Structure 1
Amino acid sequence: MPNDFNEGTPLILRPEGRTFQTRQLLFVLLLGQTLAIANTAASSFTTLLARHGTSIPAAQTILNYALLNCLFTPYTVYRYGFRPWTRLLIRDGWKYAILALCDVQGNFFIVLAYRHTTILSAQLINFWAIVVVVLVSAFFLGVRYRLVQIVGILTCIAGMIILLASDKITNNNGGNGGNGDSSDLLKGDLFALLGATFYGLTNTAEEYLVSTRPVYEVLGQMAFFATLINGVQALLFNGDARIVFDGQTSVYLTGYTLSLTLFYSLVPFLLRRSSAAFFNISLLTMNFWGVLIGIAIFHFHVHVLYPLAFLLILLGQVVYYIGHREENRLP
């Protein structure tokens, strides 16, 4: 049996030469793009559900939380024992409950946003998540961002602006089948803004927790409380839900759940090796992957500037990571 709860004690990353640093950089870049693809897949399945006439914002993500809970909570109980796990819930349960509440609300508002706005508009609002992460980290966690890190973030934003300009040129609106009314689109953008705010809070809190606690504990207890919170919210706020019961809906929901479960399972490993800010700038390439997926599904067209924008965002991630203080990160 492990020594109670000491497994998550922070370790010191000691680079052993340029080869080690290069491998670490390549690893976080690859992991970041894997997360961007997984999240883009989840967003695409949400859009497909909306186009198919299904919109269940309060309940859509509960299967993901339930699956994560089944995977990680029993393993946590196995590693700690039932009594130590119970003490964990009594002592630190409020932390995971707050984390779960923010995450549930983030998913709720983002899924709700796709009912009213476009997939690309919703992804654009996620810029705000970066701002939230930087502000919360700076004012509440005492993180000091170096100039080179700010330059990296601005480089990523410049790449994103090129992507958006390319979307405008090629008219890749990523519509979800809404009515196109400007007030409806504004409502969707506001929902996406709220979702991005909760995501920023969630990412910062999760970065703090996974730096001191085992990954399986954080994922398991977050999912444990999120399943309960999401279940209650689904009962209270799913009155205006629209759902089409057929095989196509089942396929889309399954795809959404598996994509999101993969995403949640990998996020802590990127947070341990980088930061919440790096995680969020990695997701800026979702627009690029979204358009590639949209070529086959939503009939988008790729502009010649897309590869340039993608490389610029990757360059910004490299610049940010170089300026990142690795000595406080987990290996």
Structure 2
Amino acid sequence: MATQEAVDLGLQRLEGAKTRWYSYFLTKEFWLALLIGQVLALCITGTNTFSSLLVANNVSIPAFQTIFNYILLTIVYLSYTLYKYGLRKWLRVFWRDGWKYFILSFLDVEGNYFTVLAYRDTNQLSAQLINFWAIVVVVIVSFIFLRVRYKLFQCVGILLCCGGMGILLASDYLKGINNYEGANMLRGDLFALLGATLYGLTNTFEEWAVSKRPVYEVLSFLGFFGMFINGVQAAIFDRESFQQAEWSPAIAGYLAGFTLILALFYSVVPLLLRIASAAFLNISLLTGNFWGTIIGVYVFNLSIHFLYPIAFVLIIIGLTIYFLAGSLLGESKKPWLGEHQERGVAGVGTAKWKALRVAKKQHGVVTSAAADAEV
């Protein structure tokens, strides 16, 4: 049987299955997405912790410290892509789609850079509030350009998550922490707003890319272009800070930890973007502030406010409500790939991949795509 016929058969079975509002809640894909979201939130907490340790040791090199992540991504994923494609095919992809990946890398590098700059000039409370804008950007861009239509309960879930985050921020304000005055509040807020906008654009762009192309191809180009863009930026803006930094084995360890955790984050994000969406990714990362508080208690000797557990539970409930889409496909079926996902890749986590598995399991259908799905 042809691959697309098998996909159509599998999609019919998945979409035609009798479902209730809680049906997706009972699938392992839902719990996997919830778990991956929390792993990514912990990764962000880890990178923030290492960044704080670097700053505490008089090392502030926001562009330079992220270049190692792009170098590591290039070493791992470009090597594997060249192994899978060969040089000639890779050059064809570079010629055809290189400009798209360059834009993705540029947005990603600048999103990282301006977000770090924001914390130099504004207080953490303002910066976190502005970071809500990333969710708004994802929803608007997905709605307009990717034809994503959000259901009522998804909107309710987003609002609950935002409410939980609001409680977190309010508890910080009431407790009097993270509310110091920055050097230039307006400039810092504008940097945070720009960084959040770039993050939202990057996440949406990457969701589109990994739904159409193999993950290793996307990450190889993201690392390849990001390495050069970030390198040039570091040479221009971080040269003086690099020379003034107080280097030691501990600093090297912090940089290594930061790089490894960030590389893990970049490697896992595409799977969540396939199973769920860029919107789900961003609201999942809201719980990172709770995990950051736990790290603050045990690493930086901060005290916890009683509202923090309440806020965390509210965010998790919001995530659960958001993801109960009433379909066994959840958000893995992307509207921009066509009704039968014919323009998508049969990669792990995609609706096309799930449909092929169902066709093979229930009807004994075996296709080349089902036997050798792209990662």
Instruction: Specify if TM > 0.5.
Output: yes
Between 1:296-305 and 1:110-119, the stretch displaced more is 110-119
**Higher mean C-alpha deviation, range 36-45 or range 247-256:** 247-256
SS at match of 2:29: helix
In the aligned structure 1, how far is the partner of 2:74 from the partner of 2:134? 25
Question: Does 2:46 align with 1:28?
Answer: no
**Which residue of structure 1 lines up, in the alignment, with residue 14 of structure 2?**
14
Distance 1:282 1:20, change over 3 A: closer
- CA distance in 2 between partners of 1:53 and 1:131 (Å): 35
Q: Deviations over 1:156-200 (max 9, x none)?
A: 001111111222233331x8xxxx544434433332222111111
Q: What's the counterpart of residue 222 of structure 2? A: 222
**What residue number does 2:248 align with?**
246
Please show how residues 76-91 of structure 1 align to structure 2 within 5 Å: 76-91=81-96
1:290 shift after superposition: 0.8
Q: Which residue number in structure 2 is paired with residue 255 of structure 1?
A: 257
**Which AA in structure 2 matches 1:253?**
L
Give 2:197's aligned amino acid. Answer: T
8 Å contact 2:123–2:181 — kept in the other structure? Answer: no
Question: Which residue does the alignment assign to 1:159?
Answer: 164
Superposition deviation, residue 299 in structure 1: 2.3
The 3 A distance-change label for structure 1 pair 117 and 60 is farther
- Name 1:6's counterpart in structure 2: none
Q: Distance in 2 between matches of 1:52 and 1:307?
A: 31
Cα separation, 2, equivalents of 1:314 and 1:210? 26
Q: Tell me, in whole angstroms, the C-alpha distance in 1 between the residues paired with 2:193 and 2:25.
A: 38
CA contact (8 A) 2:175 2:305 kept: yes
- C-alpha distance in structure 1 between counterparts of 2:137 and 2:250, whole Å: 37
Question: Is this contact kept in 1: 2:277–2:332, CA < 8 A?
Answer: no
Q: Answer whether contact 2:157 2:322 (CA < 8 A) is retained.
A: yes
Does residue 205 of structure 2 align to residue 205 of structure 1? yes
Shift of 1:128: 1.0
Answer whether contact 2:165 2:311 (CA < 8 A) is retained: yes
Structure 1 residues 292 and 119: alpha-carbon distance in aligned structure 2, compared to 1, 3 A threshold = farther
Structure 1 residues 321 and 218: CA distance shift in structure 2, 3 A: same
Structure 1 contact 149–321 (Cα < 8 Å) conserved: yes
CA spacing shift, 1:48–1:186, aligned 2, 3 Å: farther
1-structure distance, mates of 2:123, 2:73: 28
Whether contact under 8 Å (1:50, 1:115) holds in the other structure is no
What's the counterpart of residue 171 of structure 1?
176
Q: 1 CA distance for matches of 2:102 and 2:309?
A: 41
Distance (whole Å) between structure 1 residues aligned to residue 279 and residue 86 of structure 2 = 35
| Match of residue 43, structure 2, among 30, 33, 38 | 38
Equivalences for 1:134-145 in 2 at 5 Å? 134-145=139-150
Q: Percent identity?
A: 53
Deviation at 1:68, TM superposition (A): 0.7
Give the alignment partner of residue 303 of structure 1, picking from 292, 305, 309: 305
TM-score, structure 1 normalization: 0.89
The aligned residue for residue 283 of structure 2 is: 281
Note the C-alpha offset of 1:115: 3.0
Structure 1 match to 2:67: 62
Preserved CA contact (<8 Å) 2:274 2:332: no
Q: Look up the match of 1:3.
A: none
Deviations 1:79-130 (A, max 9, x none): 1111001100000001110000000001111222333345554343321110
SS at match of 2:84: helix
**RMSD, matched Cα:** 2.4
1:266: which partner in 2?
268
How far did 1:33 drift? 0.4
Runs of 4 or more, structure 1, over 6 Å off, are: none
Cα separation, partners in 2 of 1:215 and 1:116, compared to 1, 3 Å = same
CA distance in 2, matches of 1:169, 1:189: 21
Q: Output the CA distance in 2 between the equivalents of 1:146 and 1:22.
A: 20
Gaps of 5+ in 1: 1-8
State the 1:268 CA deviation.
Answer: 0.2
Q: Which amino acid aligns with 2:270?
A: P
Q: Structure 1's 132 and 210: CA in aligned 2 closer, same or farther, altered over 3 A?
A: same
Moved more, 247-256 or 270-279: 247-256
CA distance in 2 between partners of 1:117 and 1:243 (Å): 23
1:184-243 Cα deviation digits (max 9, x unpaired): 344333322221111111000000001111111111111111111111122222244252
- Aligned pair count reads 319
Q: Distance in 1 between matches of 2:332 and 2:73?
A: 29
Specify every segment of 5 or more residues in structure 2 that has no aligned partner in the other structure, as ranges: 1-6, 335-349, 355-375
> Paired residue for 2:368?
none
Q: Which moved more, 1:124-133 or 1:14-23?
A: 14-23
Secondary structure, counterpart of 2:177 in structure 1: coil
Report which of the two structures shows the higher radius of gyration computed on alpha carbons. Answer: 2
**Residue identity matched to 2:42:** I
User: For residues 24 and 332 of structure 2, what CA distance do their matches in structure 1 show?
Assistant: 15
